[in-house]
Structure 1
């Protein structure tokens, strides 16, 4: 990484080196301070409210005068990096200013998300609007030479030509080219010489085919390979069969992948993570994971993470899976697994996460899970689980997340959960849990996320909790950070208990009968960052006035209410607001835009637009 700086040092004689002080421990900043003009007091720095350092001021001044500087190649790398970061953070980077960083030995990451004009730089920090990264930018990127170790050009306009420039960067270890529609098999060919690559990602790259994957054959140090949603790679996995260092392979949503492809990778004995969701792999394909020879019982015995969601499997695959003794994560959601063969689960003693949602699973299966004491997350969404089955979960004291949505669980089943003191997330939506069952949640003192999206919960139920044990319940649940009551028949009186949840960060009270009077019960929840009050048609501008003190809000939804343009003024104190949704309200897009420009600098998503 310091190679470029070392070479520059050799070009200076001793007197020059002494005079500049550039390469002493503190010489970088001294040199910059001596060569820059004095900064005026109007120079802006990123951290408002904090006294800027001299370095901050100097770098900010360079940013202001960027057109005066044609090259930073003679600066020490750390100073060039600071200037580059400042340009990115201030939305000042363009084709001209980028050219000044040619041969500066920077660490650069370009990544575009959400829409093609949002660029992220360095640690996925959102930095502002830029035109899509293209081949011209790659010329500057490649000039960093051997110092470039990581590059993310996802969603860019880079083509095969731009990718070919990476031949100048033989030390690169991580490369992400996700959603790059203009990179084809020819582009992959330029990567074959980058033998130091350890991580490579080409998510949803529709131009990549099995033939192009021949380029991966020489990437002998590859540890992580991500080809998610690459729909033309059927037969290409044979080209990675000798990458013995490969530990992680993601081929999720590649519906072209078949059992034959799984057979091709059966010799990757260091594989620890395999994601094959929504592919055509059957029980026969899973059998290939068992071993390539009789004397190797399980060639892929190091697998700890296995994702098979949506594959056309049956319970027959469980016998093979039970041989992966190191398995920590297993996703079999929507796979057609039944109670048959569920005894095999008992062998997976290290399992922490198990997803069996949307399968023909009943209480019979749960019997074989009761001794998996390391389980932290269980998903039985839409399974035939009843109150009696939950008795088998009583001993799973490490359980943190439990998904019981759309199951046969009712009030009695909650008794079996009362001892799960580490439970943080519980989903009881679309179950038969009623008002009376809520009382049994008082022992779950670690709950942070609770989903009671149920037509069975009424105002009287919440009121009963409030008048009988609600004080105890609310004190026990003071650590609650997320509460979703979507679809429950909540009214003003039902919101009364919410005022006790002082740590609540996310609250959804959609589709109820809440009025401005009910909103008074949440106006003091200062920890709230996300608030959804949509589908409460009686809310007026008074609601916006009541919540104007919730300055931590980043997301607000008051759709289908009686909010008007006049009420928008109450949102001005919400400086952290990033998302605002007021659909089907009496507000105009023009007034919302004015509010965004004048008072809400962080607002990124506005509906209606």
Structure 2
């Protein structure tokens, strides 16, 4: 990208005073989507509070976007300037089919229109006019059909095409991309139109490195068209329950594969045996493949390059878990929602490179945690809904790098939390348990680096809430179903970094609480359901301009009053209850 205005091409127009002098002033579009502040150059604040002036280029682009209806063509501008104008219009939702015409023949490299409204075939003529300069296109959720895709055939250097959530393409349309031999990345997530026969169009994409067919239910048998794509490194067919063992056999020769996502596919241990030769595979996701058992670990143990392995919601038991011992490169291991016990954890001792371990809803207890004591690189540990209690936490005291710990629905009590007081790297802790009280909150006040604290269901009173003053870095706080009153909320009002606050089911909270938190202007989500909040209290929420979600169910609040608040003061509010 250009560093400043001096990089303009010879004989190209000079942009000065916010006006593009060589561009026609014919009206060619509409700025109806532009509000008074929708396109303004960013002014950053330094630590001393002084504003950093935007660059001349930023000011020029801002002015051009505001006056977009004055310009008929940007083709004489340097490509990087045209690209920035295009990106600014897209990000502000100001691009229209009419204003798009100004970008014809601009040699843009990136057309990112994913989720953009009203994109259809009539837009494709301008998009394809970028010709050999075009490197990436995102048309996700558009109405572009076979005819529109056909226009991309002249974009011979296209390297990335994203066409997610679109059902307007057919086998005939896919043939139009078969000649784009420079494609490296191709994505057709959640498309009912992608069939096994349609995948024949992929067979000539010899430079393809990444293919995403997540939630495409008709692709069984289509892998035969992938078997010669020897540069393929990443394949995602998550939630394609049509995929069977025979499909895996077909791609067993793609030895450059390093990412394979097969979650919720209809595969078995036999299918996984075909993957033994994929020695470069570093990521394997099998979550929800409920025909997979611990026997698959015999095959997986050959994949020694694995750094990520997800076996959540499979049919694992302790038998066969000894095969995990050889996967010493693993950094992420997920074994949640399986029938494994402490006996399985014995085989994790040697996985000293582990940084993340998920044991959610497994049948493990205190003694099993002893096997984790040597995993000193662990940053994330998920123990929710296990049989772990306070005694077991002593085995975690040496995990000084631990950042995220989930102990919800365990047997941990206040006394057990004392064993965590030395884990000063913790940023997130979930205690979602009825047996945690004010005393438990008091013993973790040394964890001043916490950014997320979940005490859902804990018995926290106003007295315990006094401890919250120690957690100055909190961004997310949940204290639900406790005994808080307005007096306790006073301890929250100075946590100015909060973006997520859930105080639901504290039935004694009144409008005073809303007044107390009115200074938390960073809040994006607020829940004070099942309280005594009334319509009169809504006025205190007016300063919360960043609020996107507001939940006040089972309060004396009406949807009509929330809508008035939304219209008058909360422009970013998109979700609220009651509705």
TM-score (norm 1): 0.87
Superposition deviation, residue 200 in structure 1: 0.5
Residue 257, structure 1, aligned to residue 243, structure 2:
yes
* Structure 1 stretch displaced more, 361-370 or 88-97: 88-97
Structure 2 equivalent of residue 184 of structure 1: 170
Superposition deviation, residue 181 in structure 1: 1.4
Residue 586, structure 1, aligned to residue 572, structure 2:
no
Aligned with 1:523 (options 472, 477, 493)? 493
2:346–2:371 contact (8 Å) kept in structure 1: yes
Aligned with 1:474 (options 432, 438, 445)? 445
Residues 240-389 of structure 1 correspond to what in structure 2 (within 5 A)? Answer: 240-290=226-276, 299-311=277-289, 312-389=291-368
Residue 595, structure 1, aligned to residue 573, structure 2:
no
SS of residue in 2 equivalent to 1:151:
strand
Between the aligned partners of 2:22 and 2:92, the Cα distance in structure 1 is 19
Q: C-alpha offsets along residues 473-523 of structure 1, whole Å, 9 cap, x if unaligned?
A: 313x11101011112232322322222111111111122232211111211
2:73–2:101 contact (8 Å) kept in structure 1: yes
Between the aligned partners of 1:97 and 1:26, the Cα distance in structure 2 is 21
Indicate how the Cα distance of structure 1 residues 405 and 90 shifts in structure 2: closer, same or farther if over 3 A, else same. closer
2:385–2:409 contact (8 Å) kept in structure 1: yes
SS of residue in 2 equivalent to 1:585:
coil
Residue 109, structure 1, aligned to residue 111, structure 2:
yes
Between the aligned partners of 1:355 and 1:277, the Cα distance in structure 2 is 13
Superposition deviation, residue 77 in structure 1: 1.8
Indicate how the Cα distance of structure 1 residues 161 and 397 shifts in structure 2: closer, same or farther if over 3 A, else same. same
Structure 2 equivalent of residue 231 of structure 1: 217
* Structure 1 stretch displaced more, 44-53 or 334-343: 44-53
Residues 456-605 of structure 1 correspond to what in structure 2 (within 5 A)? Answer: 456-459=435-438, 461-462=439-440, 466=442, 470=443, 473-475=444-446, 477-605=447-575
Superposition deviation, residue 150 in structure 1: 0.8
Between the aligned partners of 2:147 and 2:20, the Cα distance in structure 1 is 42
Superposition deviation, residue 27 in structure 1: 7.1
Superposition deviation, residue 234 in structure 1: 0.6
Aligned with 2:123 (options 118, 123, 137)? 137
Between the aligned partners of 1:221 and 1:390, the Cα distance in structure 2 is 46
Superposition deviation, residue 585 in structure 1: 2.5
Structure 2 equivalent of residue 6 of structure 1: none
Superposition deviation, residue 52 in structure 1: 4.6
Number of residue pairs the alignment of both structures matches: 555
Q: Which residues of structure 1 form unaligned runs of 5+?
A: 3-19, 114-118, 120-130, 291-298
Superposition deviation, residue 556 in structure 1: 1.3
Superposition deviation, residue 435 in structure 1: 1.8
Structure 1 equivalent of residue 68 of structure 2: 66
2:13–2:20 contact (8 Å) kept in structure 1: no
1:87–1:93 contact (8 Å) kept in structure 2: yes
Superposition deviation, residue 601 in structure 1: 3.3
Between the aligned partners of 2:14 and 2:204, the Cα distance in structure 1 is 41
Indicate how the Cα distance of structure 1 residues 316 and 569 shifts in structure 2: closer, same or farther if over 3 A, else same. same
SS of residue in 1 equivalent to 2:232:
coil
Q: C-alpha offsets along residues 215-271 of structure 1, whole Å, 9 cap, x if unaligned?
A: 010000000011111101111111101100001111111001110001000000101
Over the residues paired in the alignment, what is the CA RMSD in angstroms? 2.4
Between the aligned partners of 1:354 and 1:307, the Cα distance in structure 2 is 10
* Structure 1 stretch displaced more, 263-272 or 138-147: 138-147
Between the aligned partners of 1:316 and 1:57, the Cα distance in structure 2 is 62
Indicate how the Cα distance of structure 1 residues 35 and 26 shifts in structure 2: closer, same or farther if over 3 A, else same. closer
Superposition deviation, residue 190 in structure 1: 0.8
Superposition deviation, residue 316 in structure 1: 1.1
Indicate how the Cα distance of structure 1 residues 26 and 562 shifts in structure 2: closer, same or farther if over 3 A, else same. farther
Between the aligned partners of 1:607 and 1:218, the Cα distance in structure 2 is 51
Between the aligned partners of 2:546 and 2:19, the Cα distance in structure 1 is 35
Between the aligned partners of 2:494 and 2:199, the Cα distance in structure 1 is 57
Between the aligned partners of 2:578 and 2:124, the Cα distance in structure 1 is 38
1:108–1:150 contact (8 Å) kept in structure 2: yes
1:28–1:79 contact (8 Å) kept in structure 2: no
SS of residue in 1 equivalent to 2:394:
helix
Between the aligned partners of 2:158 and 2:483, the Cα distance in structure 1 is 58
* Structure 1 stretch displaced more, 340-349 or 552-561: 552-561
Structure 2 equivalent of residue 11 of structure 1: none
Q: C-alpha offsets along residues 373-429 of structure 1, whole Å, 9 cap, x if unaligned?
A: 100111111111111111111110000111111111111100000010001111111
Structure 2 equivalent of residue 125 of structure 1: none
1:530–1:556 contact (8 Å) kept in structure 2: yes
Structure 2 equivalent of residue 216 of structure 1: 202
Structure 2 equivalent of residue 76 of structure 1: 78
SS of residue in 2 equivalent to 1:100:
helix
Aligned with 1:430 (options 409, 433, 436)? 409
